[in-house]
Copies of this chain bind each other. A is one copy, B any other.
C-alpha cells in the first residue's frame, strides 16, 4: 500500500516573477513524477517559436477567452503584460475525477483567485536570490527588449513582497537545490494526514486482525 492509493488529487500551484526560473523548474518537476500532470492554461498571446497549441498553452482569441469568462468556465484568469491567461474548470474536474495531481504554473493574481475556492491546493512561490540577479537573468535570456524588462522588474517588485501568503517559498539560487526542494514539497504534501487520513480507516480501534 502506498499513500497515493488513498487520497484525492492535489493541486500544486507555482508562481514566480518572470526570470526566476519557474518554467524550467516546472518542467523538471513534471519529469520527476510520472503521476503529476501539468495543467495547460488558456492564453490570448501569440504563440512563440517552438511553442505548441495544446501543449504549452491552449491558444485562443481574446473573444473566445471573454466567452469562457462569461460562461464561468474559468476558475482563475488574469491579465499579465497585456495578455489574458486562465485555467478552465474542466481541467481541474477531469484531474479531480481521475485522482490526478496537477501542476498549475500561474501568476500571482490567478493564484490568489484559486486560493479562495481551493483551500487545500498547495501554493509555492519561487524567488530569485535578489532583484539584481533577477534583472541579470532577464537580460541574459535576450528575449525581451528594454521596456519589457523594466515592466517585468516592476511587476516583480509588486509581486514578491506580496508572496507571504503562499505555503512555500523556494529560492532559485542554485537550480539543483531549488529542484530538489520542489520535489520534496510534492512528496511531502502527498504524506500530509489531511490528505491521507483514510489510511487509518483500516486500522480500526480493535484492530483488523
Q: Mark A148-172, 1 if CB is under 8 A from B, else 0.
A: 0000010011101101111111110
| Interface residues on chain A, number (Cβ under 8 Å) | 50
C-alpha gap A168/B204 in the complex (Å):
19
Select the stretch in A56-64, A75-83, A127-135 that faces chain B: A127-135
Copy count, this protein chain = 2
Q: Are B181 and A168 in contact, CB atoms less than 8 angstroms apart?
A: no
Question: Among residues 164 to 184 in chain A, which have CB atoms less than 8 Å away from a CB atom of chain B?
Answer: 164-171, 173, 177, 180-181, 183-184
Q: Mark A66-99, 1 if CB is under 8 A from B, else 0.
A: 0000000000000000000000000000000000
A10 to B: closest C-beta gap in Å: 13
A residues within 8 Å of B by Cβ?
Answer: 1-3, 125, 127, 129-132, 135, 153, 156-158, 160-161, 163-171, 173, 177, 180-181, 183-185, 187-189, 191-193, 196-197, 199-200, 202-209
